[in-house]
Amino acid sequence: MKIIKANVLPDPVQGPGYAIIALEGSSIESAGDLSFSIARNQDGRFLGANGQWEPSETWHEPQDQQIEGGIVRCWVGTLIVDALLANPQMQYRILVKGMEDTFQGIMRLGTELYPSTARMASPVAAAPTPPEPVADEVAPEVASEVTPDPIPEPTPEPPPPTPPPKKNKFLLPLILGLVLLALIGAGLWWFLFAADQPGAETVAPSTSTEQPINVAEPEVVAEPDSLATAAPCSVDALDQTDDDIAYLQRCVQSAPSTEQVFEVIAAGKAAQKCDLIQRLYAHAAQTGDSAVALAYAKEFDPLTFSGGCFNAPEPETAVYWYELYLQQKPDDTAIAARAKSLKEE
């Protein structure tokens, strides 16, 4: 029985609850009768026609299928997608019957795959209806008009000057004379009486010796620094959320470094967020991070299997991720030899 790769990808047209199973490595060259069964690796139960896991094998047919570039794409609906996502920590195996041969492989669930219950939260946006064409209208000719020059407004005449008050020829000399007589009288009184008074002292103005009061300036209290926002793909952000899917989306969109990915995986293992770390493993490995692909392969390799979020070693799965690693590091002869040994077992 030939081993194939089976990636379960989201259906961008139908949205949550629907998916496309992309089969790579099969010898199917033309569309025809194709059916498949899905089994859980942990207990060997099969997905039944009612969406439940049963001991007997049930064969399903895709809603539609397409073959292009050696990849067979099978469109499936909510019965299969909801069953796979009900417990995404499980490992699933797919068995495919083609026209003349049978294939099997481990199913890889895409990170953007959602169950049908998510349709209420994120409905698929309907395609906008194109507007009906409108017949071209000939714009009516506008007769050119010559705008007449504006008529200048008449300048208001200035108000007539206020006539100066009439001068009294006799009033001013009379006032000056009286003021002069008063000054002469005051001077004579001072000379005759005030100057002879004893004890007449000139009192100097008192000078204040008090020091100026320093007004204390109000004490400025420094405001505490605001809390730094946790990075999208960090252990702190992981500890602050209960929505693993939302965290995973923000994490992968931030293009995390290899070190960040391993830190989150270690924290996820400690917190038993097994589904999250396996999805993060797969996404980072499939986007070209060779170190993550190698570490993910060792999680399934019987020689390096350590348990935890992984229930049992899976040689076929280890080979898959080893080969993905070798695409980036083809000169690693030790890993190439290990992958070859696992294939021969």
CATH of the domain at 321: 1.25.40
- Read off the pLDDT band of 315 (50, 70, 90): confident
- Read off the pLDDT band of 275 (50, 70, 90): confident
Taking phi over 0 as left and psi of -120 to 50 as alpha, with beta for the rest, 103 belongs to: beta
Boundary-marking domain end, from 119, 141, 167: 119
In a domain, 283, yes or no: yes
pLDDT at 294 over 90: yes
The reported pLDDT for the residue numbered 43 is 74
In a domain, 143, yes or no: no
The reported pLDDT for the residue numbered 122 is 45
Amino acid (one-letter) located at 208: S
- Read off the pLDDT band of 44 (50, 70, 90): confident
CB-facing half-sphere around the CA of 188: CA atoms within 13 A: 6
Q: Determine how many CB atoms are found less than 10 A away from the CB of residue 10.
A: 19
Boundary-marking domain end, from 101, 119, 137: 119
In a domain, 148, yes or no: no
Boundary-marking domain end, from 92, 119, 146: 119
Q: Cα–Cα distance between 241 and 244 in angstroms, integer?
A: 7
pLDDT at 2 over 80: no
What is the rounded radius of gyration, in angstroms, for the C-alpha atoms of the chain? 47
The reported pLDDT for the residue numbered 283 is 83
Which residue did the predictor score with more confidence, 179 or 80? 80
pLDDT at 132 over 80: no
pLDDT at 144 over 90: no
For residue 87, what are the domain limits?
2-119
The reported pLDDT for the residue numbered 182 is 67
In a domain, 129, yes or no: no
In a domain, 218, yes or no: no
For range 100-111, the mean pLDDT: 84
In a domain, 290, yes or no: yes
The reported pLDDT for the residue numbered 338 is 93
- Read off the pLDDT band of 31 (50, 70, 90): low
The reported pLDDT for the residue numbered 18 is 92
Which residue did the predictor score with more confidence, 242 or 149? 242
In a domain, 70, yes or no: yes
In a domain, 225, yes or no: no
The reported pLDDT for the residue numbered 145 is 42
The reported pLDDT for the residue numbered 130 is 44
For range 104-123, the mean pLDDT: 78
Torsion sign across C-alpha atoms 183, 185, 188, 190: negative
pLDDT at 287 over 50: yes
Indicate which CATH number applies to the domain containing 100. Answer: 2.60.40.2320
| H or E stretch covering 3 | strand 2-3
Q: Cα–Cα distance between 85 and 265 in angstroms, integer?
A: 20
Secondary structure E strands in the chain: 2-3, 5-10, 19-24, 35-40, 46-47, 53-54, 64-68, 71-76, 92-97, 102-109
Count of domains for the chain:
2
- Read off the pLDDT band of 180 (50, 70, 90): low
